[in-house]
Structure 1
Amino acid sequence: MRPVGIETAFRAACRAELDALKPGNVHRFGAGHGMEVAHFERAADAAAPFIAAPGARVGVRIEGAVGASLRASGLNANLGIVLLCAPLAAAAERPGVLRENLRAVLAGLDMADAEAAFRAIAAASPGGLGRHPEHDVAAPARIGLVAAMALAAGGDRIAAQYATDFADLFGIGLARFGEMVGAAPEARTEAVHLAFLAAFPDSHIARKFGIETAEAVRAEAGALLPQVDFRAPAPARHAVLGPFDASLKARGLNPGTSADLTVATLFAAALSASRFTL
């Protein structure tokens, strides 16, 4: 796929995620957590050229995109999105099947990728990020990026994607996206987001509020899931999703990992356009 196509797909995925009512996250139907849609739009526009930089190493894409996003938005709006989308973009430059290409990209990550990613993560300073006694992002990298992500995978679902060849993205996100063919674009996005939120405790919530709170939110999402008809018009969907959105925001609970995985799913769907449409 040409770089211009990758950049366009990234921008479109970021905007499509904002167009959907995703409980607890920022979207066009409601701000939250001191952030607004405009922060994420500016971050996406700034990150896009770096995500799609032709031939660039994954670490270079990550560091460039995070730095540009921070300068454009003034806050950490898209670290998780960038970490997920940079290897997908690199995979999309290769001919063949996206998932197979992604495995090859992840297998080829090296120390330079780890060093650049560590610098980007430290610069973004994500909320609730702890310290690791041996391989901390505040210190120079001493192991490869996949190995470092594997160490963090138990408490970070984005790191877990690197350690599992993006198993959640393909097994949950793209699977749900494919099931919703024919539904409105916003409904497909809402279905993907709630599928992630119901599947596992959101890492962002767990880091800031603890695993018990994150598990409680997962259970709430799981109970809500069968109540939403994602093929119904927006008012019917939002009558169910809206109160959950308001409740999470009132409690200060932001399922940011689920939102990041949703953007990456939409991006991967666009990159795999022969099978999916965005």
Structure 2
Amino acid sequence: MSYQGKFRVWRGDDEGGELQDFTIEVNEGEVVLDIIHRLQATQAPDLAVRWNCKAGKCGSCSAEINGKPKLLCMTRMSTFTEDEVISVTPLRTFPVMRDLVTDVSYNYQKAREVPAFAPPADLKPGEYRMQQIDVERSQEFRKCIECFLCQDTCHVIRDHEENKESFSGPRFLMRIAELDMHPLDAADRQHEAQDKHGLGFCNITKCCTEVCPEHIKITDNALIPMKERVADRKYDPVVWLGNKIRRRA
């Protein structure tokens, strides 16, 4: 079963562009990435799109479909009606390079700013020991494929370009939270999250969780617990007193 689908695809570069209309064959069982590939093969050979695995595991084909951040390879055409006009546009939060390809180097810069796992100095290789419950706490976050859809939909950086310098976004705050949960990590992740990565900017709207293709509960299981730990450390009088005593000792 096939039909002629109507698409509006953004064409252009960093100097500007526009949505172009296409009518293209759609077959049963296809995903949006299949349609983009057919467009390249039949009508727009110079259409730029980033993709790799077509299995929802590399995170390369991130775009916005009808205004919502999604993976092209995981969005089935069966979720749309045959007479629906489907728009495909680049990620809005990042600078356009060409057509559907955006410059996501901001994310790699923020990744480099997160210090690596830091075990205690006197702990030798082979002496690491963790309880299974500690492994399970952070295992969920390791499913991240770095598609950066959460970064794209986060309004703190999506709507405020000036925040990019001081806010790392949900993906990397989640990474910091993961390290903070590790019982052998000796770095001061809470201070780092608040003062260097802008944890306080996050107002937990859960938009990052809603678009995650791996269904990671970014807000509930990473950002909110991290915010609570930071607040306890900074404002709880008992914790504050304990820290004072330890510093004096």
| Pairwise same-fold verdict (TM > 0.5) | no
Greater C-alpha radius of gyration: 2
Identify which of structures 1 and 2 has the higher relative contact order when contacts are C-alpha pairs closer than 8 Å and 6+ apart: 1
Q: Which has the higher strand share?
A: 2
Could you state the TM-score of these two structures normalised by the residue count of structure 2?
Answer: 0.27
- Structure (1 or 2) with the greater helix fraction: 1
